[in-house]
Amino acid sequence: MFFEIVRLGLIHAAALIAVAALTCRDQLVLRALLVVSTLLYILYYLVVPEIMLWDALFWTAVNLGVNLLMMARLVFARTQFRLSAEERQLFAALGGLSPGEFRSLMKIGHWRRSEGNHTLLREGETVEKVYYVLDGRSHVMKAGRSLVVGPQSFIGEAGFLRRQPASATVTVEPGACYVEWPVAALNALRVRRPLIKVALDGLLASDMAAKMAAA
């Protein structure tokens, strides 16, 4: 008797859990509940019908497989798994980006270490790359004046955001560690990934505002 109730209740439990899943905002929780629901459906198909419903079983298994795959991608996007030590430092310094968004940004960026005094931008020239100096100092020369900018700072963000030529000539000291992003690739990423655009523009704007406040 008890076994019979459990057997017949399976499909209702599966459907209820699927309905509950649809009320969840968090994709991971939603998908985890759908996995439980799908497993109950599979159990139902195996133990309840008199004949084996192979077609239903097949598509439910496909459903389960795709869902598990998407969950794995979500977990990967939310973890800092496989970031190098420098990337971890940069990730912490930037903040505001999810690990997945950060990884997408790093795919189009290049790590550099300056061998001598290396000029990143020249005053009045088009900004073709945006930089983030993680370690080392930068010298900013503007209308005959010079100032030193410490590490953990964007360079070229003003021209990039305002679509204007570089407002200063910037040189990094020997040994400085920085990332450079080609403007064309950054713009393509901003179009493809609106959430990254919002987060990145916010970071660049707050960096620019901090420089203005300090000037």
Ligand X SMILES: Nc1ncnc2c1ncn2[C@@H]1O[C@@H]2COP(=O)(O)O[C@H]2[C@H]1O
> Which stretches of the chain bind ligand X, using CB under 6 A?
121, 127, 140, 142, 147, 149, 154-159, 166-168, 170, 211, 215
Cα(180)–Cα(169) distance, rounded to whole angstroms? 16
Q: Which is nearer to ligand X, 68 or 208 (CB)?
A: 208
Q: Which helix (H) or strand (E) covers residue 72, if one does?
A: helix 54-78
In the complex, the smallest distance separating the C-beta of residue 85 from ligand X, rounded to whole angstroms, is: 25
Strand order of the β-sheet with 145-149 is 118-121, 169-172, 138-142, 145-149
Min. distance of Cβ 187 from ligand X in angstroms?
Answer: 14
C-beta closer to ligand X: residue 42 or 200: 200
178, 112 Cβ separation under 8 angstroms: yes
Closer residue to ligand X in complex, CB, 27/119: 119
Minimum Å gap between C-beta 166 and ligand X is: 3
Residue whose CB is less far from ligand X, 109 or 156:
156
The strand pair at 153-155 and 129-135 is best described as antiparallel
Instruction: Name the residue nearer to ligand X (CB basis): 57 or 161.
Output: 161
Angle of CA points 43, 30, 63, to nearest 5°: 45
Q: Which strand (E) or helix (H) includes residue 211?
A: helix 194-214
Shortest distance, CB of residue 104 to ligand X, whole angstroms?
23
Least Å distance, CB 155 to ligand X, is 4
